[in-house]
Chains A and B, each alone.
Chain A
Amino acid sequence: MSAGHDHLLSVSDLTKTYRTRGGLFSKASDFHAVKNVGFHVGRNETLGLVGESGSGKSTIGRMVMGLTAPTAGQVTFDGEDVTSLPASRVKDVRRKMQMVFQDPYSALSPRMRVGQFVAEPMVVHGIGDSEADRREQVVGLFRRVGLNPDFMERYPHEFSGGQRQRICIARALALGPKFIVADEPITALDVSIQAQIVNLFQDLQQEMQMSYLFIAHDLSMVRYLCQRVAVMLRGRLVEIGPTAAIFGDPQHPYTQSLLSAVPIANPRLERARKRIAYQYSPETLGNQLEEVSSGHFVLK
């Protein structure tokens, strides 16, 4: 479905299988954390990846980043197959893709000054002519994510959750990436801070022509931020399409059920909301992705 286009990222037949060990009374078996998943992310585009815990969304994020080796399948980034890169190319490609995690508390090193933490990728990749030059760049990164550069010499414990996430984003930007995998980046933040971080992601996209894979379970935020949405269930991609099509005309019974469960911050609509139940079975799951309207695919 992505052949012939100039997509920044395309993923095809991505599969991750874990072999469970057999015990005295049980046979060894294969568990498909992710099975035959394919999608693409365009330039300057945000793809939302949703689904319940255990549906495989984080595993996909990690395989795209090369942090988990796929059992099968291909990840192509900027025209290059990153699943079979020669070691000499790995570092170059990594510069262009970065990750932001859910928990900004454990992502930061408690004994490293935050300025140093942001500069570290530049040191690893040998960017910047000198310490002073890198420092100059960190000042720019701090400003870009809305942090006061005077805070560079401080330690993580002096920052709030929202500020820590800004620090993590500054680090992710240090190498000038084209693509960021954001795995639940606002889930651990206070509600009044979530909007700040979402707006920051938007601004960065406009300023730097960035693409995102935005993994989240808050569907109202996904709807707001993403141009397209992919829905996962038990390791399978069950539906993918433009945000308006997914939210306005969901086709897979699981997507319908998922959307009907989202609470609405309006008492009258919320009291009237009808939930649609979904019972998982191999029959209701479907077999083959079919295109139901332009760019809108459903597992049938």
Chain B
Amino acid sequence: MANTNIDSVKQRSYDAIVIGSGISGGWAAKELTEKGLKTLVLERGRDVKHIADYPTANKMPYEFEHRGEIPHATREANPILSRAGAWQEDTDHFFVKDNEHLYIQKKPFDWIRGYQVGGRSLLWARQTQRWSQYDFEGPARDGFAVDWPIRYEEIAPWYSHVESFAGISGNQDGLAELPDGEFLPPNPLNAVEDHFKGVLSERFEGRYLIAARFANLTKSTPTQLAQGRSQCLSRRLCKRGCPFGGYFSSNSSTLPWAEKTGNLTMRPHSVAHSVIYDEKQEKATGVRVIDSQTKEVIEYYAKIIFVNASTINTNLILLNSISSRFPNGLGNDNELMGKFVAFHNYNTKVRAQFEGLSEFATFGDRPGSTYIPRFRNIFRQETGFLRGYATAFSARRNMYSERSGIGTDLKENLLNPKLGGWSVGAQMMGETIPKESNYVSLDTEKTDSWGMPLLNIDIDFDENDRKMEIDSMEQLSEMLDAAGFTNIKTTQKRQAPGIDIHEMGGVRMGKDPKTSLLNKWNQLHACKNVFVTDGACMTSTSTQNPSLTYMAITARAANHAVEEMRKGNV
């Protein structure tokens, strides 16, 4: 009997456990297994195998019963999810429905989730801009949150490491505020984007239009071919899963790579309940899991644990990891865990038209668009708000079908598309300031289907965000006007936070254990064999789409973890 028990524990023991298989969990799995660690990846959702589990990837539009639209009753039943633009008939199977995992909205917060192997890496927008020194120095310079314990120089080699493997397209633009990297050829700009770029460089000092860096393979190098991934065909159907591996996801890249080492064990349907802390050894010894199908509680053991459950669920798991040493959650001596959550502000858009360059049009498609790096408050504070915003920008001139008339006129119109005019769209991507009052916490009474406490989410915009929104509309309008664009229209939305899908923080990195949860290697200050390297670790948000930074931080921390293990330090 005793032997059976020992065998059972042995069978459930690994060198490392990674909670979560999304964009950061996939990287943890890749790095740890490559270094020879027997690694268990816990995923709360079902398995999604690359290609085999992309049921809609090659479907024509008419093969969808509602031509892509989610039926009204389904939308009504999912008010949160229905605000996610990517939720359509072809991607329905990759999104969590509102009633599948409840949470309490102290204030409106649209928490968009993908519970499956690969998580939201299947669904992401794929923009991959590096942070700069000015981003890491931001909180210290401007006096908010806490100082980042790392600087750009420390993360730069890891950006290169993940860019080379994932395959990132981009140009060497030579901008200090948006450092260059290891890039595949950039997405081409079109005539109007080049025109706008020219006007900015001539008339707006410090403002640049560049090809946005994207995780789509504009060319496949031997590195990606070795992963079984080939060049992106610009189908723009990434969110269905790409049968060519044309964009980076855990499913197409890091997870199969980890599997090839023979060191990976993937366990889907495993809801992480808590990290197990051993008071005698003064370290974490494993993870308690609820099998989502059988509701059985199972414990897995490992020497090191990576928590990559996605920002909010990482907070949930750690807050739920209670012991007599840590009554408020693992490593939460300062009671700051769950607090200082921030996000990105996407509230404003500017649209316009362009009468010039009528000799050109756009033809075919590309997997990217263009980007204006942050130009406010970079080198010094110069506006009435803190920080700033980047801008996503694109111009197009496509064919369209006139819809006027009835009868043969209408049919003629529909079957004879005409060339439209140039139109452009710009969207702000603003940094928000982490605040103690923006937090997630465990509800003391209500629990979910797995017996886990429900999360309270209390997160909102503030005055700084509103000022930034107004500035973005003014500045973009001014820039477009100067470049000769007409019919400039601004919109200022009042969407809830969350829908930006860039929630960050709650388990922030910092230098001082009194004011932060993680050290510069993403180890919990108070429990060094637990690493948090997803969005939860973020001290501040900057303006860049965060995934590339999660990847780099994860790869860096995983390599450090292996070194520390070999030295016997964890």
User: Is chain B found bound to chain A in the same assembly?
Assistant: no
| A interface, CB within 8 angstroms of B | none
| B interface, CB within 8 angstroms of A | none
